[in-house]
Chains A and B, each alone.
Chain A
């Protein structure tokens, strides 16, 4: 730096440094600076208010959006689940069957509370799912969508129950039964009864579920509101759907009737057998099975 500095040049230049900006220009610039400084103060108040308003508005908007998205997701998920469930058992059929059972005095519903549930953990699992499934009048009071939810819940519970009803003790009997059935006839019956079997199983267990639902409703001092019960029910639905096996075949239904007979629930067994015959008129019941499912003389 020392090389390029020349004191003589600098001194000469210093002597010539006499020019200054005009006073008017100074005033213009200083006035602009003051105005800008005043403007800098003003926003400290005004934008703060605006920002508060923005924050409140933003929070409300986010909340509304979140609720709307949740509701929308709920609806779409529910629709898809309802479609999946409805494709396996015809809902209207099951409903008809259930109404038929519940309308008659002395039906399974009256005896169901005394009956033991074979798988307690399954029952515990399906309990929250059954909670929204209120008795029939309560369901009628619900809006159509909520009623549909309750119906889906009940169907899921029934499927679960019918699966749980297949106790390990019944399996060997079924194995014995299989060869006895006509080889040519069995597949056709299987195919025919595949879509009906679940409905029959549902009707067999429908009354029990109804009774259990009423028990649980009575036990719950304050029944959960629909909004809080729905997420639980949805979680249970997904679990139940995951656990659902293919629907019961006619042989399994016969096993179930035989089980009822063994338990001494002859009225239930008679009704179920009559219903079975109505549904599977062409199905030939082996003699061995007939002894098990028919009322002993």
Chain B
């Protein structure tokens, strides 16, 4: 009996020690000061492409733009999108541009606490300082909403955000945005959008038991267990072609939601178009479709 008690004590000490060590373990990369002047219109465009407005606006609950509150029901519990308005109390009104850069590119709070990977920061890791400055300028135009978004409170052990440092080490993949020699400009632009800002793979790639993307075995092959219980179909080039998609109707669907059968997207894809891709230029939608229909470097 005593041995068991001692064993449990040892485990607890080790566990607490482990958590303490993880909490102290630094993961933030240094953020160099950003002095570039941002362009509001370019930032707004990138914010649309990146889904900032789509995820951080509680459309169903009638919430104001970017005030957060959207709930994502994952197998670990419900994660709520925070308020990203300029509100000093509940939003990001007291942040610096460097705080913002660290959040977007590294998925870390101003205090270096990791965000849950429902936030698709991994896809934004390649954003340039200019893009960050543009986004930052655009976010400054958002009216303050002095209301807190619901707090995310997952049960232990997921409530311990320091544990996400281990998750990051295992599953925070670099985006595949770099241009490929020999491909057209449209294809490379599409790659930059699809693999980066528009983060298609966040929903269209299956995840493992720990919520990490199966980048080797399930890339773009669909996900039957999205937050909230919806499904994303496979969007490998072959799967898209088999489902009747081509460069032309796919780029058009990203604008209108119209599918090859004459149906209109519903579910989260409908929201992606409504709040994101319909705001893109035709050139960019064609670029996305060009890449999606020919993901030939895989």
Q: Do A and B bind each other?
A: no
Query: Residues on A close to B: CB < 8 A?
Result: none
